[in-house]
Copies of this chain bind each other. A is one copy, B any other.
Amino acid sequence: MALHDGAVRERILIQHATQVVGMDEAPQLALKNKKDSSMRVAINLVKEGKAQAAVSAGNTGALMATARFVLKTIPGIDRPAIAKLLPNVKGTSCVLDLGANVDCTPEQLLQFGIMGSELMACLQGKANPSVGLLNIGSEDIKGNDNIKKTAELLRQSELNFYGNVEGDDICKGTTDVVVCDGFTGNVALKTAEGLAHMFAVFLREEFGRNWWTRLCALAALPVLGLFKKRIDPRRYNGASLLGLRGIVVKSHGGADVTGFRYALAQACEEAGSDVIAHIADRVAKQLDNLKQSEAEAN
């Protein structure tokens, strides 16, 4: 606390916690045995209304399990999803789920669409965000039965459903929201991270080859710096655990101060724009529509 001046210190309240959840700890064990971990204490504060959001850089599985257990999901949401705002050539899009749910039903994927849509509306001020379903081709016949049923549900919903999108559409910014199961989303995100790292390695190698290429690098350094800043993953740190009755944001485990600041800002913006109430409203409306169309069908 020595780093903070009086004004900042007054705004900070330290809540003691005696336990730590290990990064490799099984989520269910952490839930059962770590009732006084910082993670649990923070989420309890959200539950009690003493905090508007919890931000953690800890064990994702344990964070998800604890958040689900303590906060519960919004009525009409089966399972929370991990959502992230990612850069694209046009601006920003929201991709979910990024790893919380390996297999998803069409209903769950529809719920992800609603949650992503509301997140984009609240955080990016997008009116009626477009929603794409991640698939391996744009045609309706592509994908397995689960994907086809999901497309059907999304088409019938009140969402601004664009249709199927492919992997490259994420960075093209074809839609504001990209919906996928957690397996596909996680692989896509990590593949992109791996490619970005490879490009950085290759650029460094090419510019570091000899004194002449190093001279070129020196000349290009200011511009390369701007490029690096633009794609800096720390700027996109902070994944939302969406679908809970409280705001929980997951920071990358290896985030530095700058990265963690972005995760905190994400939590702040979610709290300020009341994203949870918006999701709850939209899901309730969707459930009403479903009941109505079922009643009409009978």
Contact = CB atoms under 8 A, between A and B. Distances in A.
Nearest to A203: B227
A196 interface: yes
B186 A171 contact: no
A183 B186 contact: no
Contacts of A170: 191, 194
Interface string A228-252: 0011000000000000000000000
A188 B166 CA distance: 10
A9 to B, nearest CB: 39
Interface in A137-194: 143-144, 166-172, 180, 182-184, 186-194
Contact of A207 (B89, B167, B203, B223): B223
Interface in A24-75: none
A167 B189 contact: yes
Contacts of A269: none
Interface in A202-231: 202-203, 206-207, 209, 213, 216-217, 219-220, 222-224, 226-227, 230-231
What is the size category of the interface that chain A forms with chain B? 35 or more
B197 A172 contact: yes
A134 interface: yes
A88 B220 contact: no
Contacts of A194: 167-172
A71 B128 CA distance: 50
Contact of A216 (B166, B197, B222): B222
A95 to B, nearest CB: 10
Contacts of A222: 213, 216
A180 B184 CA distance: 11
Given A167-B187, A206-B226, A216-B223, 13 more contacts: A88-B198, A136-B190, A166-B186, A167-B190, A168-B197, A170-B194, A171-B194, A187-B187, A188-B188, A192-B192, A195-B195, A202-B230, A216-B222
